[in-house]
Amino acid sequence: AGERDENETEKGLRVQDKGFLNTAVIRSEITYIDGEAGVLRYRGYPIEQLALQSSHLETAYLLIYGSLPTGEQYKFFENEVMRHTVVHSDAEGFFRSFRYDAHPMSMLTSAFAMLGSYYSDANPSLQGQRLFTKGDKASLAIMDRQIYRLIGKATTLAAMAYRVRQGRDFVTPPTGLSYTGSFLYQMDHIGEENYVPNPVLEKALDVLFLLHADHELNASCTTVLQTGSSLVDPYSAIAAGCASLYGPLHGGANEAVIRMLISIGSPENVPAFIEAVKRREKTLSGFGHRVYKTSDPRSFIVRKTADEVFKVTGKDELLETAMALHDAAMKDEYFIKRKLAPNVDFCSGLIYRAMGFPLDFFPVLFAVPRVVGWLAHWRQMMLQEGGVKIWRPRQIYVGPGKRDYVPAEQRA
């Protein structure tokens, strides 16, 4: 009596929304998804048009700055990003300090956080200067610099995580190659002169990067914004996003799909696997989505890209099992009723496998392009009207009421 109800709030009604099924925390101009119709647009442009006509870096400019670049703007942006692919040589020791079998996502997550320690200009507010402000050229230039560095160095850090696991020496990022060409070079180059990445694979990776560049407020993007809302530097916020992406319900799904297909083994075993999923003993990785209640529009483009890649690499031996699983699930009442369809990760892993990437590197191939989307949302939040409000959700307290401490000898 006389006590305040733990869930009372002076701000009005407090509602519980487990998993944020219906809570919007920000107004955004970046990405539009209609999950019922299977529509995805970046800044208004359909994903299908961008995948066919644009490139990952051009789309990165679009996502971050809001419009397609002119030729000159693009040249400048590409030059800045590629110039910033170089990472300080101290980072080599950092990567060598990991265990020989460290998961590349652990390395990449740590590397983004490490990178923040290199740049004292990353957070002007810590130096008593004004935070990034719309219309303030000097602060926007500082922000742009962090953006170029993070997009450029994402490929280099990822390639370093790859090479350290392969027991290879590190290479200096090349000049004159495209973003994905440079990334392939940094991973594959083992001393041969005139190394040129296979153009079909380079293009396929570029399309996959573009498709993975953004997907509005998914778990990792939300994590970047939640972390960034404390006004921490963007490297730390991106590291937090990378950690969130690592999980098998999110960016780790492409790796989980392949592990699942290997465990199924062959098309004959698909019906038994489907039954195990329905008994909730297994998860059908690469199926289902919080927003899409029909096929993920990206999954059609990934399947087309897979055809191009397989012409170069040969078909993946798991493809038949994957197709049998896809067809069985799409016909099954359990999946139809729950509107479960393939997401972008159902096929992307097959492409990465055919291209020769190790399984545990797949989530890294999701994280590198997603840096673009994380930065687009971070920039939008930092420059929003009225400034940043720290993201501090409330809870519904359901624990015990007030009780008094009992000394250890009196406890039953």
Q: Does residue 290 belong to the site contacting ligand ACO (CB under 6 A)? A: yes
345 binds ligand ACO (CB under 6 A): yes
Contact 287, 346 (CB under 8 A): yes
Stretch that binds ligand ACO, among 25-33, 100-108, 247-255, 354-362 (CB under 6 A): 247-255
Of residues 11 and 18, the one with the C-beta less far from ligand ACO:
18
Q: How far apart are the first and last CA of the chain?
A: 28
Please check whether residue 87 is in contact with residue 157, taking contact to mean a CB–CB distance below 8 angstroms: yes
Q: Measured from the CB of residue 352, what is the shortest distance to ligand ACO in angstroms?
A: 14
Shortest CB 323 distance to ligand ACO, Å: 17
Q: How far apart are CA 121 and CA 49, in angstroms?
A: 37
Find, among 355, 261, 349, 361, the residue nearest to 308 by Cα.
355
State the pairing for strand pair 45-46/39-42: antiparallel
Q: Considering the rule CB under 6 A, would residue 249 count as an interface residue with ligand ACO?
A: yes
Q: Respond yes or no: is residue 289 known to be catalytic.
A: yes
CA–chain centroid gap for 98, Å, is 22
Report, in Å, the least distance between residue 106 CB and ligand ACO: 19
Contact 293, 302 (CB under 8 A): no
Comparing CB distances to ligand ACO, the nearer of 162 and 287 is: 287
- Shortest reach from residue 335's CB to ligand ACO, in Å: 7
- The C-alpha angle with vertex 299 and arms to 51 and 277, in degrees rounded to 5, equals 165
In three-state secondary structure terms, 119 is coil
Q: Is 141 in the site for ligand ACO (CB under 6 A)?
A: no
Residue 86 is a binding residue for ligand ACO (CB under 6 A): no
56 flagged as catalytic: no
Query: How far apart are CB 292 and ligand ACO at their closest, in Å?
Result: 8
Residue type present at position 139? S
Q: Which residues contact 278 (CB under 8 A, 6 or more apart)?
A: 332, 334
Applying the rule CB under 6 A, the residues between 207 and 246 that interact with ligand ACO are 218
**With binding defined as CB under 6 A, does residue 284 bind ligand ACO?**
yes
Indicate the residue whose CB is closest to ligand ACO: 288
CB atoms within 10 A of CB 17: 9
Per-residue buried b or exposed e for 204-220, using 16+ beta carbons within 10 Å of the residue's own CB? bbbbbbbbbbbbbbbbb
Applying CB under 6 A, what is the total number of residues that bind ligand ACO? 20
- Name the minimum Å distance from CB 271 to ligand ACO: 15
58 versus 345: smaller Cβ distance to ligand ACO = 345
Q: Which residues pair with 41 in a beta bridge?
A: 32, 46
Rounded-to-integer distance, Cα 368 and Cα 242, Å: 9
Catalytic residue among 84, 212, 215, 289: 289
Between 94 and 335, whose beta carbon lies closer to ligand ACO? 335
For ligand ACO, the closer of residues 182 and 285 by Cβ is 285
Q: Site residues (CB under 6 A) for ligand ACO? A: 19, 218, 249-251, 253, 277, 283-290, 338, 340, 343-345
The catalytic site residues sit at 289, 345
